Amino acid sequence: MSGRYRQHDLAPGQSLLCRWEYVQGTRATPALVLPDACVDLLWDGARLSIAGPDTRAQYADIAPSARVQGLRFAPGAAARWLGVPLHALADQRVDLRDLAKAGFATLAERMAEHDGDAMAWLAGRILADGPPRVDAMRVVHARLSHAFPDSVAQLARDLGITERTLLRRCDETFGYGPKRLSRILRLQRFLDLQRMRPSLLDAALEAGYYDAAQLAGDARRLTGLTPTALVAQVAG
């Protein structure tokens, strides 16, 4: 990563997880964006857009020295605030005014009026709506975040719904089904753990992988990189 990333975590239990800022370096090297089961609002000083849930890694082209600010939604909160099912936004970057929700058409103009405090102002508006509901999909996210999560069949049984209904509701809330969500969360656990473990295999096993081959398969499908190359990109 040629730019500088900074993150400010917000209080837990709210509709937003954090505010962040990315400043591109003097060279226009594409920034690697990994799937993380999150949805972000992006502000570049003129355009307010939504980064939908990614099913695999993407590279963002950002102009040299450009600054991008973001707000990251808590699990399950984005679909409710945006008013659209997230599978419609998967792997997309969409101008917020293109969504047909009242108030979105003029939100970028109101952001511009607040200049340097624009993201703080927008965060305040979102947080004023209150915390996200503790519903079945938040339970699904929490249980799939474990190193050895429940199966889709077990989740559906525990929630009293069919597997088909669980798939549909995950598509609406997260942008994809529970199996892909589980894989993405597992890869993110690995990336967090590898910084503190003596080897990539140790981190993989603790994250919930059965062996190095399973890690390599997930890394290839979700990022197009080997685990070693992925770790090097993240560290860089």
Token pair, residue 96, equals: 């917020």
How many helices (H) and strands (E) in the chain? 10, 8
Quote the CA–CA distance of 105 and 97 in Å, as a whole number. Answer: 4
**Angle CA(52)–CA(60)–CA(74) in degrees, nearest 5?**
35
pLDDT higher than 70, residue 54: yes
pLDDT higher than 80, residue 134: no
Sequential DSSP letters for 86-109: GGGGTT-EEEGGGS--TTSTTHHH
CA distances in angstroms from 126 to 14, 71, 75, 84, 129, listed in the order given? 9, 10, 14, 16, 6
DSSP 54: P
pLDDT tens-digit readout, 28-42: 778 889 999 999 999
* pLDDT value of position 29: 79
Rg (CA), the chain: 18
Mean pLDDT to the nearest integer, 14-41: 91
pLDDT higher than 80, residue 236: no
Q: What are the chain's domains?
A: 4-127 (no CATH), 136-235 (1.10.10.60)
* pLDDT value of position 100: 78
Mean pLDDT to the nearest integer, 12-35: 90
Mean pLDDT to the nearest integer, 172-195: 96
Mean pLDDT to the nearest integer, 80-87: 94
% of the chain exceeding 90 in pLDDT:
74
pLDDT higher than 80, residue 21: yes
pTM over cut 0.85? yes
Quote the CA–CA distance of 196 and 209 in Å, as a whole number. Answer: 17
pLDDT tens-digit readout, 135-180: 899 999 999 999 999 999 999 999 999 999 999 999 999 999 999 9
Quote the CA–CA distance of 17 and 13 in Å, as a whole number. Answer: 8
pLDDT higher than 70, residue 2: no
Most confident of 51-55, 110-114, 127-131, 232-236: 51-55
CA distances in angstroms from 72 to 41, 160, 227, listed in the order given? 7, 30, 26
Parallel, antiparallel, or unpaired: how do β-strands 31-33 and 58-60 relate?
antiparallel
Parallel, antiparallel, or unpaired: how do β-strands 48-51 and 16-23 relate?
unpaired
Question: Which phi and psi angles does 172 have, rounded to 5°?
Answer: -70, -40
